[in-house]
């Protein structure tokens, strides 16, 4: 016997279907957010901004833009591998979860650069 909350609600199902239909666009969004974050971080650092993430700061200090790009591409590789493990109905959430933090970081970078 199943519990009434075990089944997906029509709204949840509709949302997942919508997201699944747009998976390619979500991957494009994630990659665009990655590029924006790298470009804005590079520009900000060159103009006096400071990287607040200690791991990223170390990688950037040691390996510059190539290191930062490698760090981001490592995240993409983990996401792609994770996507292979997730059922198709939820798989499109992977690029969304990857792209949103990078888009937010890009937005923070814009405000940081504007305040320099």
pLDDT for the residue numbered 5: 52
pLDDT for the residue numbered 7: 54
pLDDT for the residue numbered 1: 47
Does the CA dihedral 38-41-44-46 come out positive or negative?
A: negative
User: What's the rounded Cα separation, in Å, for the pair 6 and 109?
Assistant: 41
- Name every residue whose Cβ is closer than 8 Å to that of residue 92 and which is 6 or more positions away in sequence: 16, 19, 20, 22, 23, 26
Residuewise pLDDT in 10s, the chain (116 residues): 445 555 555 555 677 787 788 899 999 999 999 999 999 999 999 999 999 999 999 999 999 999 999 999 999 999 999 999 999 888 999 999 999 999 999 999 999 999 99
pLDDT for the residue numbered 29: 97
Domain spans of the chain? 21-115
What are the C-alpha distances in Å from 85 to residues 10, 17, 95?
Answer: 25, 18, 14
pLDDT for the residue numbered 58: 98
The pTM of the whole model exceeds 0.85: no
pLDDT for the residue numbered 17: 82
User: What's the rounded Cα separation, in Å, for the pair 100 and 93?
Assistant: 11
């Amino acid at each position: 016997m199943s519990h009434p909350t075990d089944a997906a609600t029509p709204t949840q199902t509709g949302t997942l279907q919508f997201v699944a239909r747009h998976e390619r666009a979500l991957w494009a969004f994630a990659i665009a957010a990655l590029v924006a974050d790298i470009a804005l971080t590079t520009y900000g650092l060159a103009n006096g901004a400071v990287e607040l993430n200690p791991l990223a700061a170390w990688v950037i200090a040691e390996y510059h833009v190539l290191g930062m790009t490698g760090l981001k591409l490592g995240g993409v590789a983990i996401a792609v591998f994770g996507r292979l493990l997730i059922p198709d109905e939820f798989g499109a959430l992977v690029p969304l979860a990857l792209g949103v933090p990078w888009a937010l970081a890009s937005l923070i970078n814009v405000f940081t650069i504007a305040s320099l």
